[in-house]
Each structure stands twice: as C-alpha cells, then as structure tokens.
Chains A and B, each alone.
Chain A
Amino acid sequence: SLQTKPLVLGTTDKITVLDPAKTYDFYTWEVFQNIGEGLLKYKPGTTELIPGIAKSYEVSPDGLEYTFKLREGLKFTDGYPLNAAAVKWSIDRVMKLDLDPSWLVSAFVERVEVVDTYTVKFVLKEPVSFFPALVATTPYTPVSPKSFPEDKVAEPTVGHYGPYRIKKWTRDVQLVLEANPDYYGSPPKSRLFVVKFYKNAATMRLALETGEIDVAWKSLRPIDIRDLKAKGKQKVLEVPGPYIRYIVCRCNKPPFDDVRLRRAIAAAIDRARICQEAYKGTVKPLYSMVPMGMWGHIDAFKQEYGERNLELARKILTEAGYSKDNPFNIEFWYTPTHYGDLEADVAAVIKESLEETGMIKIDLKSAEWATYAAEYLTAGVMPIFLLGWYPDYIDPDDYTSVFLHSEWSPDMGVFYSNPEMDRLLDKARTEIGIEKRTQLYEKIQKLMAEEAPVIPLFQGVLTAATQPNVKGVVLDPVMLLRYYLIYKE
C-alpha cells in the first residue's frame, strides 16, 4: 500500500506529551524539531543558530527588545496562517498555561508584541545574553490557534509547522511522519519517516539486526553498542552529548556542610571505572559541570584533584578527623527507576571506589524515581546522591546557575549558597560578548571544583546505530536528531 519504503527509526524514549506548552523532556523536544520549527534554529552539526521561521532579527541596544521578521505566507498544517499574531498567541499561551517548561519563556520575556503581520517583538524583563538560544527551544515553537485550545494542554496531530507533518500517531507504538508540502525549506530527504517506540533496548537492537529498523537511536545499551561495533554489520556513530551525570552533596546540613568531606569525595571518585565497568566505555569521564564541547568548558576538577587522588582524599579525611578505625559513614542514594538499568551498577562502583580510601563506609540506599525526585531530593533527605542533567538550552548558564546559584540550588537538592558564586553567575548571565562570558565561566568552574557542592562524573555519549546504507544522521551537541536529513541510499 506504500509507494515508498519509509525510513524507520527506533527509540526507547517516548513522547510524553505533544504540546510545546507542557512538554519538558528531550525526546518530545526532538519530535518538535521535526514537526515544528522555532523562530531560530541550530544549524545541524553545530551549536550555531540560524534563521528558522524568522528570516532575521534585531536586538535593541539595551538588550531588552528582540524583533523578529517572519517568513511570509507560511501555513500551519491545519491551514491556519503562521504570522506574528499566531506567534504571539503561542507564546502567550505558554506563559498563561504556566506549566513545566514555561519558565524558559516567562522567566525572561516580559511580553510579546505584534508589530505588523510578519513582525513580532519580544520585550525582555532584563537583558539575557543567551536569549537567541532560548528562542530555539520548544516552548517558543509556534502552534496553530485553530487546533490548540488556549487554556489547556492538548495533543492535536495537526496545527504545527515544520519539515514533517504527522500522518499517524499511535502513542507509545509509533509515529508516522510525512513530508510537509507547505514547508519553506528543502523537503525532507525521506518522504515518509517512522519512529518506532521500544520499551526494551534489546528488542530494539534485534530489530536493527534483522533490518526491521534503519536507525537505532536513544538508547542502545553499552553492551549492544560494543557488540554492534564488533560485528561491524551496522554503522555506529558516537559524539559526546550535553547529557551529564553527577553527584550532589547536600551542602546545608552535616556532614556535607563541611567542604572537606565534599572535597574528599571529589578526590576519591573513580570516574574511569564507572565509565569502563558500568558503561563499558560508552561514556566519557567529566571534570566540570559544563560539558565537553561547549564553549567555556575547562577540566576544573582534574586541575584541582587530578584524575583521581586517593592520597589526597585520605589526607583530607584524616584532617576531618576520620581514620581507618573511625571511618566516615554515609548513606549514598540512587534511583533504580529513572536512569536505566545500569544505575545500580554505577552506585556499586561508586561505593567501591570511595571505600577504597579505607576511611569511608558507604551504605547504598535507593528509592524509586517519583519519591527520589519529588520528595527526598527537595526535602533534603538524602545527604549525597546521584543525579543527571539534560540541558534546557545550550548555554553554560544552564549547567551552572541551576546547581550553584543560591536561588535555585535548593530545587536541585544542593542547598549551596556562596555570595561570590551568585555574583559571578549573575554577571555571566547578563554579560553580552562571548569572551567576557568565557572568562567568567572559567572562574565559576574553578570555584565549583574547589568547593565541590556537585561532583561531575561523566558525560553521555550520543550513539546511533544505523544500517550501512543510511545517510544523513547528524549527531550534534544539541542532541536533537534532525529526521529530515536522514535518508537511505
């Protein structure tokens, strides 16, 4: 019944909610990159922003007003015109609904004004250096007032505008996309694109091997990646992604209100072993919260402690009054239900590597994700625990302020507060000009390594495995796969 054989991509992720005002997870954002488009977008393969629905934009000298000129004559897939009014309506809707991702708009944008049919102006609350990056995020994606209700979350399959449009969507089973004939740009490389949702990575891998799917994307297990590489029948593409994992120390209460203990942990942790043993080398050790590949990154923790320094750790612990006979006893928490099956392994390796000091005694504790994230984390129940971070927008700010700024760090369970740090972060946020900001972030990272409220562990690696004839899989730090570039030869 199908004239063209579709390109099939498998993933173990899922579409949570197909509404830009509500969705706040990476995978659904990826879908919006393909069925929708922001005013600005990233050039594939880079972190460089290029025009999207907007042809161009201007910033007022005070950095408070951004004026976008839209492309003309665009239509949503429900036929409704995509103009300045629709953009304003969409942004207003996000702010009014006030759901999970809305802070990405409402924290920065004062209001949106329609200047003329194709010109729209964003008035900011205060200058934000990374506003264009924000504009490229999903909450800024315009949707059609015809298909989306103004006052509640909805998941229509029409009313978007992007290279693809939805042909059929069976939740948790598959998403069938077809080329959007009204798209301004070059049409997608594959006319028909199917995303198959898997619950189980092993199944997905077998599907790849049997040729049922063309691309396996987020997330094959390390062991499968190793196997596939070894077999060599499929292509395996890897690139460091902006996804990071780290340890959080609860800084406001004993024992980790004592900076020495945090430093001891930071020194004793064995990143290499975690990457090798739990992840079979599919992730990379990380020495700063700002991920590798992002401007401003320095290996701050390596500079401070070296790759691993057991001696230093023992020294600090001795200073803090611990010894082999009087070890530092601590509960270490992790969650088995959110970060994949390997989390327990990660925790076990951490336990071993810390206990190698001979002066630390770890009691591993776990809680399922809802309790972990919704209750324990913010209530400060867990003295030290594992967490992970996917960025909201691609800027060092998103990797630092949230953890280190006294205003937000309680939300992340860090409870860290340092006026000097707050000052540096605030400055870096508003400063325009990449040089100055780079310097600021280097300072921030150094201070972070000294104080070690959070201890970076490793950076995720983006891996996609494809059939040999598949081309156009562009993996980039933005982490959102552009389906419209993929095709089969």
Chain B
Amino acid sequence: MASLRVYVIRRVLVAIPMIFILLGIVFFIMRVVGDPVSAILGGHAPQEQIERIKEQLGLNKPILFQFFDYLGQLLRGDLGRSLIWGQRPVISEIWDHFPATLELSICAFLVSILVGIFTGIIAATNFGRFFDHAFRLYGIITYGLFIPWIGIMLQLIFGVYLGVLPIGGRIGTLMEPETITGLYVLDSLLTLNMESFISAIRHLILPSLTLGIYLSGIYTRLTRTHLIEVLNKDFIKSAWARGLPKRTVIFKHALKNAFIPILTMMGLQFALLLVGAVLTEITFSWPGMGTLLFERITYRDFTTVQGIIVFFALIVITVSLLVDVIYAYIDPRIRY
C-alpha cells in the first residue's frame, strides 16, 4: 500500500493548483461585480471615509497584492468577518450552518444512490425491455424536475393535505440533542435520545426525498449505462461461461466494475448535490449553507458570501480528491 500512499500525496499536490485557481476565480469575480466599500458604507459616504475603509480592508493595494493578502489570510484559516450585524467571523457563521447542509446532503445522497442504483440495475438487466425504457424515462424526467417545485408539491401533499410531516426546520422545539457532530440524527443516536431522533428523521424526510429524487435519476442513468457497458465486456461473458451464478456475476463482477465510473461521476455530480441542497434548503427553510448564502446575498454581506463560496470550493476540491483516492483504492490499475 506504500504506492497508494505515494499516490495520495501526489494527488493532494495536484489539488493545490486547482485550489489556487478556484480561489482566484472566486476572488476576481467578487471583485469585479461587487464593491465591498459601498456595501459597508452605502453609496453616499464621504471620500475620506471611503479611503479609510479601503485602507482598513487593504483595498487600496493593487489587486494581485490583495489576492495574496487574501490567500495569506485563508492559510491562517481566516475567512474574514461578516460585514453586517454582529460582524461575526465568517468561519463561525459557516460552522453554524454547515452541519445542517451536511446532514441533508448525506441523507439525500443516500436516497439518490439507493434509488438510482436499484433502478439502474433493474434497467440494465432488463436491457431493451419495458423496465429499461421505464427507468430511462424516469432518469430523464427526474433530471428535469425543478427542486422547489417537487419540494412544494411534497409539502402540499404530506405537510398540508395529509398533515403527517413537517415542512420546514430541522427538529422539533427543544429537541436538539447534545451537540457532538452537529448532525442531529447522529447526535441523537449517540446520546440515545429517541425523541430527538424521531423528530430529526421526520424533519429530514421531505427535504431528502426532494433532493434525493432529483439526483437519483442521474444515478439511474449512470448505473444503467455503465452496467450495460460492463455486462458486454469479455470478462463478464467469461464469468458466465465459467458457470458463475447470476448474483455473483452481477454484483461481484459487473457492479463493482461499473462502480468505478459511477464513482467518478459522483465526484463530478457532487457540485450538483450542493446546488440542489441550496434550493432544497431555501424551499424547506433548512438552516444550512444555502439559506445562509441566500440571506447574505440579499444583504450584500460581501465577505460572508465570498467565504461561503470559498468554502464550497474547498469542499468540491476535497471531494474530488477523496473520490480519486477511493478510486485508486478500489481500482488496482490506478496505483502508479
């Protein structure tokens, strides 16, 4: 496994330029389209005050210097302070909201993977027949679904008409479990708090279904195409020819191989998960990063918005890194 370790280290090194570029893009876009000073002061502030603020924020330096200042700040784990209200450190704003997003994303991800892979397998093993067409269509339709709309429809049905599930928030009043991970479901399990656990799950159902269904179509399609591709490979033919039972062939040989490209796509689709999470959060008043981003954009809280985007960027990079590493772990061919 030493070679795997070397690979991981190298892969991390490769991620570094990517980080720089992403941060650069974020930084320059924010600089080009937004003016932090007027966001702080309002447009009518006297010139000397503008200058003073500019100096305070280091905005009077050439833009490249600003960028390096900013990078330096980031290296120290400092995302700056919010421009509004309490001017809290952006990082604490993010940590307040991130667990909610994480919890939602994980659940939705699980839903989408389970539904997607299941339907994908059925479609692929029924290639050309009814279930194949049906689930292909499912894949296309779900991809075209508009998250807020699915959300609202689910809210209408389960929240308003049937009244069986909550349509907003993360957990019932005063039911928060003791904070360990920040994920309510996990924390309530760890503290054996059944009441909280049930409440957390109930609140999670509709948002994760919304996001999960939306994403599942992609996995249906991915699983289907890659499984069909793998099923046509010689080594699968050869596995049949050796008389291996269907279960072994499909799950052990085919699915595992099909999983490699699916995994890569999962890494790429991760961005979509985040996008979906933002919309889902706003539809379900889920107190996560998406809600935070939206709120702060309307208030022009420049640094927080930038911080959130940087944070997203880092997550995206981390995930693609993770995916590659898992990939290398699964696929012996990758290890150099």
Chain A residues whose CB sits within 8 angstroms of the CB of B298 once the complex forms:
337-338, 368-370
Q: State whether the Cβ of B38 lies closer than 8 Å to any Cβ in chain A.
A: yes
Which listed residue (A8, A153, A210, A374) contacts B43, Cβ 8 A? A374
Q: Which residue of B lies closest to A203 (CB)?
A: B168
B170 cross-chain contacts in A, Cβ below 8 A:
173
Give 1 or 0 for each of A204-226: 1 = CB within 8 Å of chain B CB: 00110010110000000000000
Distance to closest chain A CB from B128 (angstroms):
46
Whether, in the assembled complex, A406 has its beta carbon less than 8 Å from a beta carbon of chain B, the answer is: no
Beta-carbon contacts of A1-22 to B below 8 Å, as 1s and 0s?
Answer: 0100010100000001111001
Which chain A residue lies CB-closest to B97? Answer: A172
A16 and B85 contact, CB distance less than 8 A: yes
Query: Which of A198, A370, A379 sits near B300, CB closer than 8 Å?
Result: A370
Q: Contact mask A347-383 → B, CB, 8 Å, 1/0? A: 0000000000000000000001111011111110000
Give the residues in chain A near B160, CB-CB below 8 Å. Answer: 206
Q: Using a Cβ–Cβ cut-off of 8 Å, how many residues does chain B contribute to the interface with A?
A: 31
A370 cross-chain contacts in B, Cβ below 8 A? 39, 298-300
Complex Cα distance, B86 from A373, in Å, reads 19
* Contact across chains for B169 and A172 when beta carbons are under 8 A apart: no
Residues on the B chain within 8 Å of A198, using CB: 168-169, 285
State whether A200 and B86 are in contact (beta carbons under 8 Å apart), knowing that A171-B96, A370-B39, A370-B300 are contacts in the complex: no
Could you say which residues of chain B place their CB within 8 Å of the CB of A173? 169-170, 176, 287
**Across-interface contacts of A172 in B (CB, < 8 A):** 96, 287
Indicate if the CB atoms of A373 and B173 lie closer than 8 Å: no
Q: Which residues of A contact B86 (CB under 8 A)?
A: 16-19, 22, 153, 155
**A469 part of interface (Cβ distance < 8 Å):** no
Q: A488 interface residue, CB < 8 Å from B?
A: no
With a cutoff of 8 Å between Cβ atoms, the chain A residues found around residue B176 in the complex are 170, 173
**Contacts of A137 on B, CB cut-off 8 Å?**
none
Contact at A371–B42, with CB atoms within 8 Å? no
Contact status A373-B96, CB under 8 Å = no
The reply to whether B44 and A378 contact each other, CB–CB distance below 8 Å, is yes
Q: How far is the CB of B82 from chain A (nearest CB, A)?
A: 10
Residues in A whose Cβ lies below 8 Å from that of B96: 171-172
B72 interfacial contact with A, CB 8 Å: no
**CA–CA, A50 and B167, complex, Å:** 43
Q: Is B291's CB under 8 angstroms from A17's CB?
A: no
- Contact check, B291 vs A8: say whether CB atoms are below 8 A apart: no
Which of B160, B166, B169, B291: most chain A CB closer than 10 A?
Answer: B169
Known contacts A16-B85, A153-B87, A374 near B300 by CB under 8 Å: yes
Query: In the complex, what residue of chain B is closest to A371 when comparing beta carbons?
Result: B300
Q: Is B159 an interface residue (CB 8 A)?
A: yes
Across the interface, do B39 and A200 meet the contact criterion of CB distance under 8 Å? no
Judged by DSSP, the binding face of B is: loop
A316 on the interface (CB 8 Å rule)?
no
The answer, yes or no, to whether A96 is at the interface (CB within 8 Å) is: no
* Pair B173/A206 contact, Cβ less than 8 Å: no
In the complex, what's the smallest C-beta–C-beta distance from B301 to chain A, in angstroms? 9
A174 near B173 with CB under 8 A, answer yes
Cβ B84 vs Cβ A213 within 8 A: no
Contact B44 A203 (CB under 8 A): no
Contact B84 A203 (CB under 8 A): no
Q: B166-186 CB contact bits vs A (8 Å, 1 = yes)?
A: 111110111010000000000
A6 B173 Cβ-Cβ under 8 A: yes
Nearest Cβ distance between residue A9 and chain B, in whole angstroms? 10
Q: A213 to chain B: which residues have CB within 8 Å?
A: 173
Task: Check if A199 sits within 8 Å of B291, measured CB to CB.
Answer: yes
- Residues A376 and B168 in contact, CB atoms below 8 Å apart: no
Given contacts A210-B163, A212-B172, A212-B173, contact A375 B285 (CB under 8 A): no
Known A374-B42, A378-B44; contact A203-B87, beta-carbon cutoff 8 A: no
Interface: A176 (CB within 8 A): yes
Q: How far is the CB of A327 from chain B (nearest CB, A)?
A: 31
Is A194 located at the chain interface by the 8 A CB criterion? yes
Nearest opposing residue in chain B for A22, CB measure: B86
Pick from B42, B88, B285: contact of A373, CB under 8 Å: B42
Q: Give bound CA distance, A23 to B84, whole Å.
A: 10
Q: Does B44 lie within 8 Å of A379, measured CB to CB?
A: yes
A263 within 8 A of B: no
Count chain B CB atoms within 10 A of each CB in A8, A176, A203 and give the residue with the most: A203
Please determine whether B168 and A199 come into contact, CB atoms closer than 8 angstroms.
yes
Shortest C-beta distance, A126 to chain B (Å), equals 25
**A429 on the interface (CB 8 Å rule)?**
no
Which of A6, A194, A206, A410 has the most chain B CB within a 10 Å cutoff? A206
Note all chain A residues with C-beta closer than 8 A to B167: 202-203, 206
The A-contacting residues of B in range 23-64, CB under 8 angstroms, are 38-39, 41-44
- CB neighbours of B173 from chain A (8 A): 6, 8, 174, 194, 196, 212-213
Among residues 157 to 182 in chain A, which have CB atoms less than 8 Å away from a CB atom of chain B?
170-174, 176
For residue A83, give the distance in angstroms from its CB to the closest CB of chain B: 27
Q: How far is the CB of A416 from chain B (nearest CB, A)?
A: 16
- Max count, chain A CB within 10 A of own CB: residue among B88, B173, B291, B300: B173
Identity of the chain A residue whose Cβ is nearest the Cβ of B160 in the assembled complex: A206
| Complex interface: chain B residues within 8 A of A338 (CB) | 298
In residues 114-156 of chain A, which contact B (Cβ within 8 Å)? Answer: 153, 155
Q: A199-B291, A203-B285 are in contact. Are A378 and B169 (CB under 8 A)?
A: no
A200 to B167, CA, bound (A): 10
Contacts of A16 in B (CB 8 A): 84-86
In the bound complex, how far is the Cα of B287 from the Cα of A349, in angstroms?
A: 34
The interface residues of chain B lying within 8 Å CB-to-CB of A373 are 42
Which residues of chain B have C-beta atoms less than 8 A from A371's C-beta? 300
Chain B neighbourhood of A23, CB < 8 A:
85
Rounded to whole angstroms, the CA-CA distance of A378 and B43 in the bound complex is: 7
Q: Does the CB pair A378–B168 fall under 8 Å?
A: no
| Residue in chain B with minimal CB distance to A19 | B86
Nearest-Cβ distance from residue B75 to partner chain A, whole angstroms: 24
The winner among B44, B159, B167 for most chain A CB atoms within 10 A is B44
**Is B159's CB under 8 angstroms from A374's CB?**
no
Residue numbers of A with Cβ under 8 A of B are 2, 6, 8, 16-19, 22-23, 153, 155, 170-174, 176, 194, 196, 198-200, 202-203, 206-207, 210, 212-213, 337-338, 368-371, 373-379, 410-411
**Given A17-B87, A378-B43, A410-B44, 16 new contacts (CB under 8 A):** A6-B173, A22-B85, A172-B96, A172-B287, A176-B174, A194-B173, A196-B169, A198-B285, A199-B285, A200-B168, A202-B167, A203-B285, A206-B167, A210-B163, A369-B298, A374-B300
Interface residues of B (CB under 8 A from A): 38-39, 41-44, 84-88, 96, 159-160, 163, 166-170, 172-174, 176, 282, 285, 287, 291, 298-300
Sample (29) of A-B pairs whose CB atoms are under 8 Å apart: A6-B173, A16-B84, A17-B86, A18-B86, A22-B85, A22-B86, A23-B85, A155-B86, A172-B287, A173-B170, A174-B173, A174-B174, A194-B173, A199-B285, A200-B168, A200-B285, A203-B167, A206-B160, A206-B166, A206-B167, A206-B168, A207-B168, A368-B298, A370-B300, A374-B42, A375-B38, A378-B42, A379-B43, A379-B44
6 tightest A-B CB contacts, nearest first: A370-B300, A203-B168, A17-B86, A199-B285, A378-B44, A375-B43
